[in-house]
Amino acid sequence: MTVSHILWYYLWLAPKVLQVILLCGMVRRGLHRQFPMFFVYTALQVVQSGVLLVISRSHFGFGEEYFRAYSAATAVSAAVRFGIIHELFSHFFRQYPALVGPGRLLLRGATIALLLVAVGVAVSAPGNSADFLLNVTYALDRIASILQSGLLISLFVFSRYFVLSWRNQVFGIALGLGIFASIELAMSAMRLYGLVSGTVFDFVIMGTYHCCVLIWMFYLALPERVTPHTLNPLPEHNLDIWNRELQRLLQR
């Protein structure tokens, strides 16, 4: 077995081992109740990798059965990642009840706009495989990556513009997910137009995912903290003026 094969299997299996540790830590600290979708996503990644590893080492190898299982796993993971984004939005705006309405409008508007862009990119992009199932899988994966990257960027911009605080854990999950979706999108585009080989694509994606798992472990291990955000109160004389004017109007 060559060094590249050893590295490939390490990048495939090591993040899953770390995710098992992450799952145990989430259960011990009760974080699986706070972030159920992220917990499900993490558990699914471990199970899916185990199934794919068994198939690849069986007599099926990396044949048609493997790619069918891979396509199904990719579709399920993309769907669950959307659930994580919704979960992050809910946690974020829970700190600011007055922004729940605008936050929902932001999420819906950004989703519709990004969906139109993603479908256009996926339809216009050339296919690089004669296998219809793989072409569909890659197209759906590109759509999911565009949507997820855009939604997370929208959330970051929204919080930055209104100077809103992030909890450590919410920020860590969003950061790791955003990095992975962005790198995956960029590498998929480069692979689509023949700028990188399949081997380079696999190594970069798996290495990026390894780093994202480490990011999640680091932030979820930190104690929960909310950065205080105080609003400057209105001067009392303004309230007095409003009160007097209101009384004057009621006496008319």
In a domain, 124, yes or no: yes
* 101 inside domain: yes
Whether residue 55 contacts residue 66, with contact meaning beta carbons closer than 8 Å, is answered with: yes
Residue 184 in any domain: the answer is yes
Count structural domains, the chain.
1
Domain assignment of residue 31, yes or no? yes
The span from the CA of 134 to the CA of 71, in Å, is 7
Q: For 108-137, give the secondary structure using H, E and C.
A: HHHHHHHHHHHHHHHHHCCCCCCCHHHHHH
Domain range enclosing 194? 3-225
pLDDT tens track of the chain, all 252 residues?
688 888 888 998 899 999 999 999 999 999 999 999 999 999 999 999 888 888 888 877 777 788 788 878 887 887 888 888 888 878 877 766 666 666 667 666 666 766 666 566 555 555 544 456 566 666 667 777 777 777 777 777 777 776 666 667 888 898 898 889 889 888 887 887 788 888 888 899 999 999 999 999 999 988 766 554 444 454 444 445 555 555 565 565
3-state secondary structure of 167: strand
Decide: 192 and 232 in contact? Cβ < 8 Å: no
Helix runs in the chain, H state only = 3-29, 31-34, 36-57, 64-94, 100-124, 132-161, 168-192, 198-221, 236-250
Q: Is residue 65 part of a domain?
A: yes
